[in-house]
């Protein structure tokens, strides 16, 4: 089964099977992209004789909007050769015949990875350009070409919408650089809110990892977080406790990894309304962490407890400290800092300090 078909399937085992190939291919494409350093403006073509009607209608109704690939996208500089893929095909109720026309202003793009792979395919003359996973395009027009008897979809490669994603992925890479890459793969599913897939993936990890594997506790942490997001409180605390017991046996009492689980347990108690117990675990977590981002997150959590208890000044102080810490972290996504401003705005609103609340809200929504 082709890699792009694997991206479309719900079979998590298949994703797991291809995971290293996908990661390696993405890495190689990024390396070659930098080496080629293409700076010209390209016009590329991609013929597709069986584009599902639902996907076509989504594109047609989203002129001016963005579309992102969930797999690798091949294209060609040769319109004549591309047309061969759709020659003689006709629209049906379920599928449309389309010719994508893609403009790439290479000199202006920083985050879109694409490579001229003509020398690597073994088939000279294809003039093929391959885009990596997650490439983003702006839909410019959708028109029916009566001469070619197909739909012409014009798109332009763009960095719009890619910066925050790239920043998030880079942050995750740094976080997991000394860990099993399997955790990063599952984390992406979780952050995409693909909860069923993420749970299947992490449950499979529990089955394949040895009982003494260093990543086992982190797998339980991630399943617990997934349970929290789906409000499955009982399972959440079970998984957090499993992670905690494993870490407690292997790590010193103030190890940063232990702090991650303690913070998660604090989140659980806050979610079920036991604020006293939540504060206990948050305070323990704060004593463990030497990672500045985790310190900031824990301070925000303690600040939330103070807000609920009506201790607004203490809450503001802690959240401002958290904001200042995040601003000093170069790799911290701007969205997380703005989220801090929103939280501080909420506290001022609860204090009935409306001017301060407005100021922080305006900053948050910039």
Q: Mind listing the pLDDT tens digit for each residue in 186-195? A: 887 787 677 8
Q: Phi, psi at residue 111, to the nearest 5°?
A: -110, -10
Q: How far apart are CA 57 and CA 353, in angstroms?
A: 48
Say what the pLDDT of residue 2 is.
44
In the three-class reduction of DSSP (H, G, I as helix; E, B as strand; rest coil), residue 230 is classed as: coil
How confident is the model over 306-344, as pLDDT tens digits? 999 999 999 999 999 999 999 998 877 788 888 899 999
Name the CATH topology of 3-161. Answer: Toxin ADP-ribosyltransferase; Chain A, domain 1 (3.90.176)
State the burial class of residue 292 (Cβ atoms within 10 Å of its Cβ: 0-12, 13-18, 19+).
middle
Across the strands, what pairs with 153?
100, 142
Mean pLDDT of 14-32: 73
Domain ranges of the chain: 3-161, 165-364
Q: Phi, psi at residue 159, to the nearest 5°?
A: -85, -5
Q: Fold identical between 3-161 and 165-364? A: no
pTM attached to this predicted model = 0.63
What is the CB neighbour count within 10 angstroms for residue 161? 15
How confident is the model over 104-152, as pLDDT tens digits? 999 998 888 899 887 766 555 668 888 887 788 999 999 999 988 899 9
In the three-class reduction of DSSP (H, G, I as helix; E, B as strand; rest coil), residue 44 is classed as: strand
Q: Counting every residue, how long is the chain?
A: 366
Mean pLDDT of 162-186: 62
Say what the pLDDT of residue 6 is.
46
CATH of domain 165-364: 1.25.40.10
Q: How far apart are CA 200 and CA 223, in angstroms?
A: 10
Say what the pLDDT of residue 7 is.
47
Q: Is residue 99's pLDDT more than 60? A: yes
Identify the CA nearest to 116 among candidates 136, 104, 103, 131: 131
């Amino acid at each position: 089964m082709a890699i792009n078909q694997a991206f479309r399937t719900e079979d998590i085992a298949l994703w797991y099977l291809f995971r290293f190939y996908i990661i390696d291919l993405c890495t190689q494409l990024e390396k070659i992209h930098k080496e080629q350093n293409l700076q010209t403006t390209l016009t590329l073509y991609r013929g597709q004789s069986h584009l599902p009607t639902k996907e076509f209608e989504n594109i047609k109704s989203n002129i001016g909007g963005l579309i992102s690939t969930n797999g690798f996208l091949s294209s060609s500089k040769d319109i004549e050769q591309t047309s061969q893929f759709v020659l003689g095909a006709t629209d049906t109720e379920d599928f449309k015949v389309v010719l994508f026309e893609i403009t790439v202003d290479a000199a202006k793009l920083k985050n879109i990875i694409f490579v001229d792979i003509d020398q690597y395919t073994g088939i000279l003359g294809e003039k093929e350009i391959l885009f990596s996973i997650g490439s983003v395009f702006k839909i410019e027009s959708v028109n029916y070409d009566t001469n070619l008897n197909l739909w012409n979809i014009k798109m332009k490669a763009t960095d719009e919408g890619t910066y925050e994603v790239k920043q998030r992925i880079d942050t995750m890479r740094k976080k997991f650089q000394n860990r099993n890459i399997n955790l990063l793969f599952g984390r992406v599913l979780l952050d995409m809110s693909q909860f069923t897939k993420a749970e299947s993936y992490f449950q499979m990890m529990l089955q394949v990892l040895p009982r003494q594997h260093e990543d086992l506790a982190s797998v339980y942490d991630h399943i617990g977080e997934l349970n929290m997001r789906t409000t499955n409180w009982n399972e959440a605390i079970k998984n957090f406790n499993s992670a905690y017991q494993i870490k407690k046996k292997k790590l010193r009492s103030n190890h940063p990894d232990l702090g991650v689980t303690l913070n998660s347990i604090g989140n659980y108690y806050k979610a079920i309304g036991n604020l006293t117990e939540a504060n206990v675990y948050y305070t323990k977590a704060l004593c463990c962490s030497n990672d500045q981002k985790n310190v900031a997150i824990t301070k925000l959590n303690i600040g939330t407890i103070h807000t609920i208890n009506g201790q607004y000044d203490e809450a503001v102080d802690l959240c401002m400290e958290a904001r200042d810490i995040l601003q000093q972290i170069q790799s911290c996504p701007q969205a997380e800092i703005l989220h801090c401003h929103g939280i501080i705005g909420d506290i001022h609103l609860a204090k009935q300090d409306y001017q301060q609340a407005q100021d922080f809200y305006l900053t948050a929504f910039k």
